[in-house]
Amino acid sequence: MTGLPFNPRTAVEMRDLTVGYGSHAAVHHLSCCFSAGSLSALVGVNGSGKSTLIKTIAGLLRPMSGRCHIAPGTSLAYLPQQSELDRSFPARVRDLVSLGLWSQRGLLGRHRAQDRDRVAAAISAVGLDGFDTRPIDSLSGGQLQRALFARVLVQDAQLILLDEPFNAVDERTIGDLVALIHRWQGQGRTVIVVAHDLDLVRAQFPQTLLLARRPIAWGATLDVLTSDNLQRARNLHEAWDDHAPWCAPDEVA
């Protein structure tokens, strides 16, 4: 499959992608693509390879084999899981949100008045009015997630990757974050979100990729999240041997 031309309406395309850590593959033989302007969920049980795949799309992990192709010139915003963030870093909410400007201004670049306005508008848009100077280590989990979404807003990226943004946040915050995600998609951005709540995924995400170290199903959410596919994903995951050698493509059913 490698060598085929990249479709310009495609934002991200994986072709027989295998990726992992050291010599251990965490995601095997994945071929799928995300259209420009699509909204997709990435689901699977713990350890099924979701974060690994998101990090690969973000360019933080290199494929062991196959390809992960991003449309040339695509700007990208990646929000890791909260557990990967260092909350003890001495920063205020507006410092955290201003980091979203670095690709446009450089890390040490001076912020203009319009940048400060953009940061203030983003903080307001996520419902954190009055929190500008709050240290980030004093925020609740939901408030921190709102601040991180404000940073993504400021980044103004065409491709947005969110790893478990709804983890440990309340219903109201989830509703507000989902509204922002729909707004991004409405603006023509491509959004890929790792999520665990399958009811939320069914209600809010048109497309889904179900992973169990290898792709189980990909496409319209209601066609993917069938009880058969979910059972197949659980079975495959339970049978997975982390120490097995790298499997060749034709060993996958």
Ligand X SMILES: Nc1ncnc2c1ncn2[C@@H]1O[C@H](COP(=O)(O)OP(=O)(O)OP(=O)(O)O)[C@@H](O)[C@H]1O
Residues of this chain that bind ligand X (CB under 6 A)? 21, 26, 44, 46-52, 242
- Here the tokens at position 196 are 């665990």
Q: Which is nearer to ligand X, 81 or 103 (CB)?
A: 81
Nearest 10 degrees: Cα torsion 211, 217, 223, 229: -70
User: 3-state secondary structure string, 20-79?
Assistant: EECCEEEEEEEEEEEECCCEEEEECCCCCCHHHHHHHHCCCCCCCEEEEEECCCCCEEEE
Minimum distance of ligand X from residue 242's CB (angstroms) = 6
Q: Which residues pair with 135 in a beta bridge?
A: 92
CB neighbourhood size of 120 (10 A): 15
Report the C-alpha gap between 193 and 42 in whole angstroms.
Answer: 6
Q: Which residues pair with 17 in a beta bridge?
A: 30
Q: Which is nearer to ligand X, 94 or 213 (CB)?
A: 213
Minimum distance of ligand X from residue 132's CB (angstroms) = 31
What does residue 43 show for φ and ψ, rounded to 5 degrees?
Answer: -125, 160
Q: Which is nearer to ligand X, 37 or 47 (CB)?
A: 47
Minimum distance of ligand X from residue 72's CB (angstroms) = 26
- Here the tokens at position 68 are 């992960």
Q: Which is nearer to ligand X, 170 or 242 (CB)?
A: 242
Contact 175, 169 (CB under 8 A): no
Determine how β-strand 159-163 pairs with β-strand 190-194.
parallel
Contact 147, 135 (CB under 8 A): no
Minimum distance of ligand X from residue 46's CB (angstroms) = 3
Q: Which is nearer to ligand X, 51 or 98 (CB)?
A: 51
Minimum distance of ligand X from residue 95's CB (angstroms) = 27
Minimum distance of ligand X from residue 7's CB (angstroms) = 27
Contact 237, 44 (CB under 8 A): yes
Q: Which is nearer to ligand X, 12 or 128 (CB)?
A: 12
Q: Which is nearer to ligand X, 56 or 143 (CB)?
A: 56
Minimum distance of ligand X from residue 21's CB (angstroms) = 3
- Here the tokens at position 90 are 């001495």
